[in-house]
Amino acid sequence: MSNHEPRQYWEMERRMNVELHQERKLSYAAIKKGSFHMQLACMPSI
């Protein structure tokens, strides 16, 4: 195991965490937008 291997692994982990965080933010925004649209769609029937 070379000296810079753990650092490469850490960089990979960090990048994956950043991507995961962005994905979570995007999906959360999509869920919020989706539920908002569903509320709008349900309103006339109430």
Residue reference for tokens 């692994």: 9
Structure confidence at residue 14 (pLDDT): 92
The confidence band for 7, taking pLDDT boundaries of 50, 70 and 90, is confident
The CA distance from 40 to 46, in Å, is: 11
Among 13-17, 18-22, 36-40, the least confident range: 36-40
CA dihedral 27→33→36→37, nearest 10 degrees, is: -110
CA 15 from chain centre, in angstroms, equals 13
pTM of the complete model? 0.45
**Regarding predicted confidence, which is higher, 37 or 9?**
9
Q: Please compute the mean of the pLDDT values over residues 19-45 and round it to a whole number.
A: 79
pLDDT at 23 over 60: yes
Closest CA to 43 of 35, 4, 2: 35
Distance between terminal CA atoms of the chain? 65
